[in-house]
Amino acid sequence: MEENAVPRHIAFIPDGNRRWAAKNNKNLKDAYETGIKKSGDIVKWISNIKGVEIISFWSFSTENFKRSEDEKSILFSLFGDFLAKGLEEYVKNSDNRKNQVKINFFGKLERFPESVQEKIRNIMEMTRNNSPYTVNFFMGYGGRQEIVDAVNRMMGEGVKEINENDFSRYLYTKDLPDPDVIVRTSGEKRLSGLMPWQSVYSELCFLDKLWPELEEKDIVEIVNDYSRRKRRFGK
């Protein structure tokens, strides 16, 4: 595979945790815990693929705030545990890391419990100068909300006219390249609002597998499939 045929930025819509729970007679906590661990597995698998530098996960949408209080409580607790473990691993391995990872969070983070927000701030601060890998978690994220927020920031600065490149600077992801490929699991064939501005030329990959069922061979095939596609960008 040619190095320039490898996607630099892969984004995931991790769908199917609740269906996996029903299919395997598991409770929601087990399902979401398995799904969160799967994200960690994917980061490790992708680190073995030369050329992929940025991984994004849509962890929680703005619409997900409408779910039951019990389900949100489970998720917020797991987010806190996941972030605490990430901080612990970072500190433990801070003097002996081959692959340093910069971790970003995008979305309406202020809507999460303060304990989760604090861990988010800490892990972003501790990893902000890391390279060569970047892992992004979209939490409390909605694509339309991102665009509305961008327009409001422009209006607040008194901007009267703008071009596409300038507009991108007002998005949450202003420092990131657009995703080369977006992957959604569970058989659903839509983006549901993930990065609507940034995804206009993203390649799309829809898998029938539920998110917790994803395997390393699936990640390899996603990259191989991308390498076989021709990206013309309208030319």
- Catalytic residue IDs: 15, 64
d(C-alpha 189, C-alpha 49), whole Å: 26
d(C-alpha 142, C-alpha 67), whole Å: 15
Q: Under DSSP, is residue 175 helix (H, G, I), strand (E, B) or coil? A: coil
Q: What is the number of H-type helices and E-type strands within the chain?
A: 7, 6
Please, is 58 exposed, middle or buried when counting C-beta atoms within 10 Å of its C-beta (0-12, 13-18, 19+)?
A: buried
Query: Which parts of 14-156 are beta strand (E)?
Result: 54-61, 100-106, 132-141
Closest C-alpha to 13, from 170, 179, 157: 179
CA 36 to chain CA mean position, Å: 12
DSSP β-ladder status, 54-61 and 9-13: parallel
d(C-alpha 140, C-alpha 58), whole Å: 9
Closest C-alpha to 219, from 16, 59, 49: 49
